[in-house]
A and B are shown apart, each in its own frame.
Chain A
Amino acid sequence: MGLPRMKRTARHSFTGSITATSVERDPTLSRFPENPLKRDVQPPDLFPSPLRPLLPFPFVWLSGRRPISGREVVGGAKMAEETLAMRTQFPASAESQKPRLKKAQEFPILEKQNWLIHLHYIRKDYEACKAVIKEQLQETQGLCEYAIYVQALIFRLEGNIQESLELFQTCAVLSPQCADNLKQVARSLFLLGKHKAAIEVYNEAAKLNQTDWEICHNLGVCYIYLKQFKKAQEQLHNALHLNRHDLTYIMLGKIHLLEGDLDKAIEIYKKAVEFSPENTELLTTLGLLYLQLGIYQKAFEHLGNALTYDPTNYKAILAAGSMMQTHGDFDVALTKYRVVACAVPESPPLWNNIGMCFFGKKKYVAAISCLKRANYLAPFDWKILYNLGLVHLTMQQYASAFHFLSAAINFQPKMGELYMLLAVALTNLEDPENAKRAYAEAIRLDKCNPLVNLNYAVLLYNQGEKQGALAQYQEMEKKVHLLQDSSSLEFDAEMVDMAQKLGAALQVGEALVWTKPVKDTKSKHRTTSTSKAASLQQPLGSNQALGQAMSSAAAYGKLPSGAGGTSHLTKPPSLPLEPQPTVEAHPNEASAQIREK
């Protein structure tokens, strides 16, 4: 190593000159008006080092380079020879340099504190940031572009979008070639709801920078708001092509959802999950979409994944919990709901689901209080009213049930099962005329649920109208056949039992349609009523009808709109409510998701 030695020599000569109490003047000093030369006039005890004795005179910074053989010194630094040459003109004292420094008027470097502004900004220490910006702008007379830029970003975060827009426009004037400024102008326009103007500015920015995914993404989002889904898709696909981001996938999926194309949306979300397997929002959305399509296995898988990464994810817990309820795992579902109850204590769907969990566990009083809380939180939600009606029917509080059900019908007049439940309530309130009218309405609205016909047949039979009962019984058989053709599912045991009894009573018993007369374990607790039903002339038990009603209640949650809902009579009663509200909530949130930079 030749270099060290050379350096050492240089250093020696330097200290040598110092001990001779001569101060060498650095030619570069005048270029740095507020550089460490201030030290020259300050007391020398800057570094009271315990090891070395203090030097008796002020220091001078050496900016010159030591001679290094064979190397070119790059960039404006002074050669060592210069330094050496300077050494000859010893200034008398350090003080004498000061006036010289002042004389040369210098402009401060515009970007001097950009790094500090940026550090404060990313730490979200906006007060400190604003103070530095103010100082910087004063010093540079408003020329520091970055300071203005960050000030505008802060304004936007504080909600002063108009002001931020103006500042970004100033930035765009200061450096017209910068795509970033235009992007921010467009973003502020977007936030102000001026989507068309934003698109124009984004297009300008795209001319300056063709490979920015963000421009394409945001253009796509603007087009979504303008309802131009084709163009939006095009832009979002462009963005994905440039660089893949979760947000772009989410927006693309939303377009498909807005267009009602579930399959395409699922495809997009699948790709997104592949790309970013730990994004809980993507996982939850995909799970909910599968749930909507009735693909429970996959739905549960994705929701479960979402919960592994974020055990407090509200949407995922509600959806997964509702699936557990469908399978009768009420206790597990309840444990999961506790987490949500802590995080979002005022969520109506949550309390509805908790209520239905208790219902499933036959804790009816708790069920009612939870449902009533849900109803208090969302008084216009007919699903909660439906459940309340159902639970009150079970509790034999028919008068209350009537009120909840009629309230539900007022909000949702197109739902056959509601009328059926109302009819059950009316039957028990000894108003058969109105009950019949309600059944008629239910049959008119609901074309595929055999329960409606069965319950109606029971009522008619009990009223002594055998002819009508027979007609309804045959209608029910038709529906059962239809359902059996389309799927190989089992019917609710209690319903089968009841139908058989009624068939026997009407003396059509042999034409049984049920493939498997299931061992009826579940209806044991209602033996009294079944026995009543068995003695033919007795009115068929009200509880009986209710059991049916409950199974139908279980069914309806999975019935999207009555059409094609085939797989719903198998599962024990659980909650009608869940998947729908969460999924429905989705499109509304579309606006909030745009990237904040």
Chain B
Amino acid sequence: MAAASSSDSDCGRAESNEASSKWLDAHYDPVANIHTFSSCLALADLHGDGEYKLVVGDLGPGGQHPRLKVLKGPTVLTESPLPALPAAAATFLMEQHEPRTPALALASGPCVYVYKNLRPYFKFSLPQLPPNPLEQDLWNQAKEDRIDPLTLKEMLEGIREKAEVPLSVQSLRFLQLELREMEAFVSQHKSKSIKRQTVITTMTTLKKNLADEDAVSCLVLGTENKELLVLDPEAFIILAKMSLPSVPVFLDVSGQFDVEFRLAAACRNGNIYILRRDSKRPKYCIELSAQPVGLVRVHKVLVVGSTQDSLHGFTHKGKKLWTVQMPAAILTMNLLEQHSRGLQAVMAGLANGEVRIYRDKTLLNVIRTPDAVTSLCFGRYGREDNTLIMTTRGGGLIIKILKRTAVFVEGGGEAGPPPAQALKLNVPRKTRLYVDQTLREREAGTAMHRTFQTDLYLLRLRTARAYVQALESSLNPVSVTAREPLKLHAVVQGLGPTFKLTLHLQNTSAARPILGLLVCFLYNEVLYALPRAFFKVPLLVPGLSYPLETFVESLSDKGISDIIKVLVLREGQSAPLLSAHINMPVSEGLAAA
């Protein structure tokens, strides 16, 4: 209980949701500054003293300062900068002899760095990829100055479009250059041999020939050029090479290399490929309809988390067994293995700050954390067998210890009907008013209906009458006659006593212009004065709106306003085509004076 006791002082800060929780809060540091993935966490007895350490391949805030951190209990034991971002960390036994201290492997870029006793021990670099022979030829020619840069460019372009083997970075750079820069580039680089290097995307371990807990293990690497490599733990030579149709992202291996093994690789194209010892190509393929976010094997079931917020279970032959929907996006997954009770389960860290533990499709436990958990790891830490280590999005570190009395039972999470089923329906209550109205309607329904119908008829009648009247006296602002389709609207501007009255007259006919219209204003001459009360309208071209402006002077100083009627007339007809009543505003200018 070293970890637990040494972190007792921190326990106060860590919050416990329920007293009945299965977990002891051992440590919570919200500013531990650890930013990493589950694949970069490893627990191992690095010094062979029975005290398990946590190895973290830390990407650093924003992926800027990658570091290798080794934690003992809640404290950082050592910390050293890394040359590049770590893609995966793993601990494994390299050799048989005592003391059996596991080595630490850290995959980063094209290399695996192996540490023993926490000291740099060996660096394995991925072999160079064979360059395209045509490309090689071209550069050789360039070296001997037998080819000019322009031809070189054309030839390389041709290779890029057709060839199976992609070009080297050097050639790709060259193709991007402007004409004048080419010469210099060629002379600078022609003497170098062209190289193609790939990088490691993922790494895991595979037992060599014994199934024991402390047997020698090989490293299994997934690379960017769609290959899987198995490395010999002692000589670091490539024991086996397998190729995949896509780039591997997550790996899961079971079995022993020398006997029989199964390798599941979740790839970037959304598929999971399953390989066996003697197969150079994938034997089975699981096509997910989304990207996998985690791959964990529980006994014989492959559990895959997908970006569609769900966990899927598959057999090792790729048959779908079950699906569980998660309440939020899955961020990371890992295996929970409790040796003492023979339990294996899947832990999934979700974006809503929960860590859910599933055995098959039954939810065993939900841990709520103050921040979304981005990496998870369960195992022996310090001297405590069942420790859960979580790091959060904000760089926090949470360590929880499974109580020794804790037993995971089914239904430990949510079960039964959804909680909403117990809520009462929100039905409005009946009011006194409603009851009264209902009673009244029952008593006098017929009368109400008749009154309503009578009123409705009256309303319709009046509407019809008003409409007919408007049509008859041309009071409407839109003329409906076929010969002069016109639209009129008027705007009054100003504060007074002088207003500007603008009439917008529009000919709405499709093609025919209108000629010979007159505008006439009718108003109370005591109140208003207009320069021209009657004028001719110019020819109206179809579609255009003609603004006709005139000034209106308010004569009254009593602050009263009146209506000005605008009539649009046709020459020689007494009945107006259109009319508009303009409610003049009160002259404010005069009132103020």
Contact = CB atoms under 8 A, between A and B. Distances in A.
Interface in B107-121: 109-111, 113, 117-121
B291 interface: yes
Contacts of B85: 113, 116
A213 B287 contact: yes
Contact of B331 (A123, A354, A596): A123
Interface string A111-136: 11111101101111000100110000
Given A276-B320, A312-B418, A28 B125 contact: yes
Contacts, number: 238
Contacts of B449: 398-399, 402, 429, 431
Given A118-B249, A339-B421, A430-B446, A111 B237 contact: no
Contacts of A341: 420, 423, 425-426
Given A48-B78, A141-B176, A114 B427 contact: no
Interface string A333-352: 01111110111010000000
A467 B531 CA distance: 80
Contacts of A312: 418, 420
Contacts of A342: 420, 423
Contact of B441 (A118, A373, A397): A397
A342 B270 CA distance: 35
Nearest to B294: A122
B309 to A, nearest CB: 10
A339 B235 CA distance: 62
A394 B445 CA distance: 14
Interface string B392-423: 00000000000000000000000001101111
B307 A35 contact: no
Given A35-B83, A123-B329, A311-B418, A115 B78 contact: no
A111 B198 contact: yes
A310 interface: yes
Interface string A73-92: 11111000000000000000
Interface string B49-71: 10000000001001100000000
Interface string A441-457: 00000000000000000
B238 interface: yes
Given A109-B199, A338-B421, A46 B237 contact: no
Contacts of A335: 421
B197 interface: yes
Given A123-B331, A312-B418, A75 B238 contact: yes
Interface residues on A, range: 35 or more
Nearest to B122: A62
B128 A76 contact: yes
Interface in B71-125: 78, 80-85, 87, 95-97, 109-111, 113, 117-125
B445 A399 contact: yes
Among B95, B374, B445, the one with the most A-chain Cβ atoms within 10 Å of its Cβ is B445
A191 interface: no
A49 B422 CA distance: 59
Given A49-B118, A77-B125, A396-B445, A311 B417 contact: yes
B554 interface: no
B292 A62 contact: no
Contacts of B247: 114-115, 118
A116 B270 CA distance: 16
A111 B199 contact: yes
A366 interface: yes
Nearest to A132: B63
Given A77-B127, A397-B442, A338 B423 contact: yes
A471 interface: no
A582 interface: no
B49 A398 contact: no
A48 B76 CA distance: 11
Contacts of B434: 365
A141 B173 contact: yes
Contact of A47 (B37, B118, B125, B438): B118
A73 B162 CA distance: 32
Nearest to A142: B176
Given A47-B118, A49-B119, A76 B441 contact: no
B154 interface: no
Nearest to B451: A399
A291 B571 CA distance: 72
Centre residue among B87, B332, B438 by max chain A CB count within 10 A: B438
B199 A115 contact: yes
Contact of B83 (A38, A108, A115, A119): A38
Given A36-B83, A75-B238, A397-B438, A62 B123 contact: yes
A243 B236 CA distance: 39
B237 A74 contact: yes
Given A49-B118, A132-B63, A278 B426 contact: no
A68 B118 contact: no
Contacts of A76: 125, 127-128
Contacts of B457: none
A63 interface: yes
Interface string B200-233: 1110000000000000000000001000000000
A461 to B, nearest CB: 21
A110 B166 CA distance: 12
Nearest to B323: A278
A105 B126 CA distance: 20
Contacts of A107: 169-170, 173
A102 to B, nearest CB: 15
B290 interface: yes
B472 to A, nearest CB: 31
A175 interface: yes
A97 to B, nearest CB: 15
B199 A112 contact: yes
Interface string A209-243: 00001000000000000000000000000000001
B234 interface: yes
Interface stretch (A1-9, A408-416, A525-533): A1-9
A118 to B, nearest CB: 6
Contacts of A109: 109-110, 169, 197-199
Interface string A36-72: 1011001000111101100100010111011010010
B120 A39 contact: yes
B341 interface: no
A51 B119 CA distance: 12
A36 B113 contact: yes
A279 B124 CA distance: 47
B172 A110 contact: yes
Interface string B234-268: 11111000000001010000000000000000001
Across chains A and B, which 6 residue pairs bring their CB atoms closest together, nearest first? A75-B127, A342-B420, A115-B201, A107-B169, A61-B123, A46-B80
Given A62-B123, A115-B247, A243-B287, 14 more contacts: A4-B95, A59-B120, A63-B125, A65-B237, A112-B109, A114-B247, A115-B200, A141-B173, A177-B161, A245-B289, A343-B420, A345-B426, A369-B428, A429-B445
Interface of A: 1, 3-4, 7, 28, 31-32, 34-36, 38-39, 42, 46-49, 51-52, 55, 59, 61-63, 65-66, 68, 71, 73-77, 105, 107-116, 118-119, 121-124, 128, 131-132, 140-141, 143, 175-177, 180, 213, 243, 245-247, 276, 278-279, 310-312, 334-339, 341-343, 345, 354, 358, 365-366, 369-370, 373, 395-400, 402, 428-431, 595-597
Interface of B: 37, 47, 49, 59, 62-63, 78, 80-85, 87, 95-97, 109-111, 113, 117-128, 161-162, 166, 169-170, 172-173, 176, 188, 197-202, 224, 234-238, 247, 249, 268-270, 287, 289-293, 307, 320, 322-323, 325, 329, 331-332, 351, 374, 417-418, 420-428, 430, 434, 438, 441-442, 445-446, 448-450, 452
23 contacts: A7-B235, A38-B83, A47-B78, A59-B119, A75-B126, A114-B199, A115-B201, A115-B202, A116-B85, A119-B249, A122-B292, A131-B63, A180-B269, A337-B425, A338-B422, A339-B418, A339-B421, A358-B427, A397-B438, A397-B445, A398-B446, A398-B449, A399-B452
